[in-house]
Amino acid sequence: MVAARLEEHGIETRAGAIGEMWSRGGPGESLCFSGANLIPLRGSQDDMRAFADRAVRWPRVCSSVVGRQELALPLWEILTRNWGPPRELRPEQPLLALDGPSLVSSDPKVRRVRADELDRYLVAAVAMFTEEIGVDPRVGDGGRSYRRRVASLINSGRAWARFEDGRVVFKAEVGAMSKRTGQIQGVWVHPDHRGLGLGTAGTATVADAVVASGRTASLYVNCFNTSARRAYAKIGFRQIATFATVLVD
Q: What is the mean pLDDT of the chain?
A: 93
Q: Domain for residue 105, yes or no?
A: no
CATH value at residue 219: 3.40.630.30
Please compute the mean of the pLDDT values over residues 63-84 and round it to a whole number. 96
The candidate with the shortest Cα–Cα distance to 110, out of 208, 232, 205, 207, is 205
What is the per-residue pLDDT for 15?
Answer: 46
Q: What is the pLDDT of residues 21-49, one digit of tens each?
A: 999 988 889 999 998 899 999 999 999 99
- DSSP code, position 24: S
**Main-chain dihedrals φ then ψ at residue 3, nearest 5 degrees:** -60, -40
- Distance in angstroms (rounded) separating the CA atoms of residues 137 and 132: 11
Q: Domain for residue 93, yes or no?
A: no
- Distance in angstroms (rounded) separating the CA atoms of residues 65 and 194: 30
The parent domain of residue 124 ranges over 111-241
Please compute the mean of the pLDDT values over residues 65-82 and round it to a whole number. 97
Q: Do 237 and 117 have their domain in common?
A: yes
What is the per-residue pLDDT for 11?
Answer: 65
Task: Give the count of domains, the chain.
Answer: 2
The candidate with the shortest Cα–Cα distance to 98, out of 219, 187, 213, 243, is 219
Q: Do 78 and 118 have their domain in common?
A: no
Please determine, for residue 54, whether its predicted confidence score (pLDDT) is greater than 70: yes
- Distance in angstroms (rounded) separating the CA atoms of residues 190 and 193: 5
What is the per-residue pLDDT for 1?
Answer: 81
Q: Do 136 and 39 have their domain in common?
A: no
Angle CA 189–235–101, to nearest 5: 120
What is the per-residue pLDDT for 8?
Answer: 77
11-15, 75-79, 93-97, 198-202: lowest mean pLDDT where? Answer: 11-15
What is the per-residue pLDDT for 134?
Answer: 85
What is the per-residue pLDDT for 79?
Answer: 97
Please determine, for residue 16, whether its predicted confidence score (pLDDT) is greater than 70: no
* Cβ burial 18-52 (10 Å sphere, 16+ → b, else e): ebebbbbeeeeebbbbbbebbbbbebeeebbebbb
- Distance in angstroms (rounded) separating the CA atoms of residues 84 and 54: 16
Confidence of residue 234 (pLDDT cuts 50, 70, 90): very high
Q: Do 208 and 126 have their domain in common?
A: yes
Confidence of residue 242 (pLDDT cuts 50, 70, 90): very high
**Main-chain dihedrals φ then ψ at residue 20, nearest 5 degrees:** -130, 150
Q: What is the pLDDT of residues 113-139, one digit of tens each?
A: 999 999 999 999 999 999 988 889 998
Please determine, for residue 188, whether its predicted confidence score (pLDDT) is greater than 90: yes
Please determine, for residue 227, whether its predicted confidence score (pLDDT) is greater than 60: yes
The candidate with the shortest Cα–Cα distance to 218, out of 246, 172, 181, is 181
